[in-house]
Amino acid sequence: MTVKAYDWLTKHAARSPGKIALVDLHTGRSFTYAESNERVGRLAWFLRHDLQIERGDRVAVLCNNSTDVFEMQFACAKLGAVFLPINWRLTVSELEYILNDGSPNVLIYDIQFQDQAIQLKEFCGLVFLVDQDGMGEGTGYERGIAGAKGTVEAVDLNHDDLFTIMYTSGTTGMPKGAMITHGMTFWNGINVGSIARVTKDSVNLCVLPTFHTGGLNVYANPVFHAGGTVVVQRHFDPATTLDLLAKSEIAGITHFLGVPANFLFMRQLPQFEDSDFSHLTTLGIGGAPCPVQLLKDWSTRGGLMQQAYGMTETGPIVLVLDSDRAVDKVGSAGLAVMHCEVRLVDEQGTDVTAADQVGEIWTRGPNVTPGYWNRPEATAESFENGWLKTGDAARQDSDGYYFVVDRWKDMYISGGENVYPAEVENVLYQLPAVAEVAVIGLPDARWGEVGLAVIVVKAGATLSEGDVMRHCESKLARFKQPKSVRFVDELPHNATGKMLKRVLREEIVNQTEKVEA
């Protein structure tokens, strides 16, 4: 049998069959590379022969974090099928749009989400549902693996073959499926692996949701590429995660990525003051702006954070700050990773060359998406001569280090989750009493940012904050729901009628500061 270039598990199973590949903290299960490869091969057989999955077909996954999710990813890779992880925080209405767009024939779902899965089968024309619970017995998932009559030899793949579709909310209010190729995943492994010092001895703690690029690709897939170990935590729990990071004898963790909210919640625990993180190889932070004080607090306990910037569309890592510059370049997202180009441009698309001048981040390289699934117009709008326009603003200091200062677009990040105001505004406009609405992100000590809905009510109509909140609860995932509502007589616009959200945000922040003073 010829081992194919992208069949990482088979290669590691041959070289280090007894090496632990996966550990599931929720169930206590662990699998060597030989065991993982066997299970993945049998799962691929089940998908192909029982569920009729062929090359290019999408396999949707609605599951909590578990080692099973990584098995599903690698089984798709063996078949040349497309892994389609979806956000279990979304409402059925939101999930329905994604599944109708991605058009998978199969949905593998955690039994916790059985009610949603049954509705989605009816709404989206799904042919097969497979239940899963991560516990290793009694589900369609485990029966499928156990009943497989053999394993599947991996198909031939190249850098351009589609590996994953990850849906992100769009500025138009409709989710877009970012296409992630095998090449993107490979080059991210190279880019991240070198800067984060990933080796076969690395042990990554995966806490971020595996429907996010952070959960899959920082640092899990780079660690798999190197032949290391991935420890999966079902959900983030501050005390448990802090123990795992601080006490190397528990699981021997060397690598961890979290969003600022994760680190903030752990910092607030009493045991943080007695913790030591100096044994960790890489402590990564990204996904949202990070308070400088938080970086300093962790550094006092030996936790030098490696700040990073990236997007789902970039595999994800674009910029990384070396941990040895964490103090003297505090607040910086660092420099471009090895196999990736970055430039800053102004509103006319002209390169920004002066130090500390703000421009939009444009990037290109083998780690960048070829575009969006079924959305050629969105793809065309997002690229300029091969450069991806990220929509995020940054400046460079005199040493060339990047500092992300704002979002060129209106997107804000709440608890590590991207929230696009247009999507929320579309839902609010369903209320007959709404004449005009703007949703903006405001600073929040707990979540980083939270949404505020600023609403102009139609003449003669009535609308309360409670009406708005109840409407959003049934239409939007919790992290997208505005946390407060403000009613105003009018919203600021420029001469052409474009809403000035930055002006609105500044006005409200100033008003809030005056009230607090």
Q: What pLDDT does 468 receive?
A: 97
pLDDT digits (tens, 9 = 90+) for 257-292: 998 889 988 988 999 999 999 999 999 998 766 777
Please give the Cα distance from 64 to 131 (Å, whole number): 12
Query: Which run of H or of E encompasses 424?
Result: helix 421-428
Distance CA 79, CA 3 (A): 14
pLDDT over 80 (residue 409): no
Q: What is the mean pLDDT of residues 125-138?
A: 93
pLDDT digits 0-9 by tens, 104-117: 999 999 999 999 99
Q: What is the pTM of this model?
A: 0.86
**Exposure string (b/e) for 73-85, b if CB count within 10 Å is 16 or more?**
bbbbbbbbbbbbb
**Could you give the percent of the chain with pLDDT greater than 70?**
95
Residue 179 confidence class, pLDDT cut points 50, 70, 90: very high
How distant, in Å, are the alpha carbons of 63, 75, 86, 132, 179 from that of 137?
16, 19, 23, 9, 33
d(CA 296, CA 300): 6
Distant-in-sequence, close-in-space partners of 33: CB < 8 Å, separation ≥ 6: 9, 12, 13, 16, 17, 18, 19, 20, 21, 227
Share the mean pLDDT of the chain.
92
Ranges of each domain in the chain: 33-156, 412-516
Q: What is the pLDDT of residues 374-385, one digit of tens each?
A: 999 999 999 999
Task: Domain 33-156: give its CATH code.
Answer: 3.40.50.980
Pick the range with the lowest mean pLDDT from 126-140, 161-175, 348-362: 161-175
For 404-418, what is the mean pLDDT?
80
Between CA 110 and CA 298 the distance in angstroms is: 35
| Spatial distance between the Cα atoms of 165 and 240, rounded to a whole number of angstroms | 31
* Cross-strand bridge partners of residue 284: 257, 306
- Assign a CATH topology to domain 412-516: GMP Synthetase; Chain A, domain 3 (3.30.300)
